[in-house]
Structure 1
Amino acid sequence: MSRAPRSSTGRRGWGSAEDGCSILHVDMDAFFASVELARRPQLRGLPVIVGGATRGVVLAATYEARAFGVHAAMPMSVALRQCPQAIVVAPDHHAYHEVSVGVMQLLGDVTALVEQVSVDEAFLDVAGARRRLGPPTVIAAQIRRRVREQFGITCSVGIGSTKFVAKLASGHAKPDGVLLVPRTATVDFLRSLPVGALWGVGERTEAALARSGIRTVAELADSDVAVVQQAVGRVAGAHLFDLSWGRDPRPVVPHRAEKSVGAEETFAVDVADLAVVQEKARDLADRCAVRLRTRGLVTRTVSVKVRTSDFRTLTRSRTLQTPTDVGRELYLAARELIAGVDLGGLPVRLIGVRADGLSAVAETIRQPTLEEAAGEPVRGRREAEHAMDLVRGRFGGSAIHAGTTQVGGVASGSTTTFVPADLS
């Protein structure tokens, strides 16, 4: 089941009034877990958790596991205590990416107005597709059928007059359902919800509103806007007041700009050897670089996240001299950042690398670095990494990976290590 707050009036007495409802929110059901079940049909009907075997967090869980209280972002140790019979499956992000790309292409066949908001959800504006494909409920049924037939997974679709209402509707429709909220029923639908259902209301905002006696959307809508603004701030208060009345002018914007890409990993056991941490950072930097190149982006800022054994999280970042999509350049920056982190003598539990300040390669002016000016083979490294991308695309992400050479016991430069594969 979805963890979103539910409306007690959903689905009753609204008929099929679809006028003015051209916004769809398509959300894959338990996406990572569903992809794994499509690959392993024998696990259907069983409680399955996707994530690290013991020390990581839950990335996704089937609805059979969710019935025991398991949910995404929960520590795996807690999840297994609540559902000890669960089957834990290690994540395969390459497979999830492939399915995500396929689903988004499928949605693009419906309309050019597709706004992908995460790996497993997107908004569509189907106003221009109605004459060709039919009313929104028919389009939603076609999408769900094609997703099931082509990828073996299910999705839920919310239909409304605004993005906000469509997203709420998809949460009510889960799993594997459709919910239409007619324009004329929008306010009644919203008034039946707790205030925490509003877009942007987290625990702190919810608590601030509660101190002003506002616990439901109806109470918020019936309040003076000045009272709401006094509770949560002028801009946020005005925005939430508009949402409580179903007002959300934000259009569906295709090709949403990506702000950052990152990768992180929790070690099986806490690691005290800094060289091992840095080697993992090299792998994570390569993964970030692959995502940058896949999207035609370069990064200007590299950040690292280090979590020590006492669960203290430290972050550091630096701005590069010139934007890049080369894994080795990301790694060298990350290695220096890690070396500068004061771990307090504690071993490392988790390491992460992130690329920020992204821009399109075609729109970015690159100034030569000192390495390039001195004749270092940066261009050759970039071409080598692009060639590795082609191999990964054909044979999978584990078919090839970058390695390091040891010079005087210190990792230096970058080589290529092949995992045995038939490249014919």
Structure 2
Amino acid sequence: MTEAAPIDPEALIIEMGRRARSAAAKLALAPTEIKAAALAAAAAAIRESTDAILSANGEDMARGTANGLSAAMLDRLKLTPERIEGIAAGLEAVSRLRDPVGQEIDRDTRPNGLILSRVRVPLGVVGIIYESRPNVTADAGGLAMMAGNAAILRGGSEARSSNRAIHQALQQGLAASGLPEDAIQLVPVSDRAAVGAMLAASGLIDIIVPRGGKSLVARVQAEAKVPVLAHLDGIVHLYIDKAAEPEMARTIALNAKMRRTGICGATETLLIDRAFADPAPILSAIVDAGCELRGTEEIRAIEPRAVAATAEDWDTEYLDAILSATLVDGVEGAMTHIATHGSHHTDAIVTQDEATAERFLNEVDSAIVAWNASTQFADGGEFGLGAEIGIATGRLHARGPVALEGLTTYKWRVKGTGQVRP
């Protein structure tokens, strides 16, 4: 019996890209109700496949444990019946959102009678490169398709069994609605060369969205020959102002750090106004919750269980139960620290002083800024977007949680009555 010939990653991606381009042309014209029906059918297929998905995820978890994945990585990888239900519900939520394709952004009539309008259209083919999180398979595939795009998904090897099981359910939804199954494709190999082939697929893939660790995102941003929509770091700050209500500050700080430590909206640095009356209960609650607190000498004087922070801590995204903390001189000191060490992802202030809050919201240059709310709300689902394909911290095209609208561009439509240019 002869062995199968090895797969050429470059040839594979080129073929997948061609099929995706053909599917994208059909999706761009698909009625909203057909796309919504496909997502509803996919959600039903995911629910019906819960046992199979859990079994596949069990294989991934066992392999990840044996390979020494961190607790944070295993938490991102793990699926439960509740998380699978969340995946299905997320697809249904996206199916009910307003379809951006064909939406008129604005319209103007020129003095010569020309009518100009801008109308939203799909981006085309979206490549998503991600690690660990199997839910991204459904979230990214569903969002791309609902916005009229074809998707090429390249998940991490650590989640390959889970991704395949979820992708199979998505394909069932597409088939049930008469949409091309090539609309959502999953790269079938774990070869890292496939990532390089996607990054070089200019003309076949229109945009790349990386979801994963810093090394993955850095590679994508450095090597991609197509546009990239991403954030590199989630160095998220929570600032407790002198006018913060103490119990609110304690509750928000605890949730912002400890609700889920492995997500990009988790607070990594706590800034406390030197004029805030009593920081001790906040710091104590964080340590009591099992978080390692790394602080300055002032912080350690308030909470003796804290360990000394180093210069690197202020520029570190832990994605773990670790928090750096320092005292600052008011909102000015907080904003200076954020401008120096932040990553333009999410930053929040707790205060009862509206003027101070408005200054923070106006002057902090981040994709998401919050007042009296946990940073863990930095999520497309919580923003009413159904799900998100990722969070972008750049300044072009889309910023913050990227969902349906962020997966479209626009074209100008010009209507005349015979005008010629003089």
Q: Same fold (TM over 0.5)?
A: no
Report the TM-score when normalising by structure 1.
0.22
State the structure with bigger RCO (CA 8 A, min sep 6), 1 or 2. 2
* The structure with more strand, counted as a fraction of residues: 1
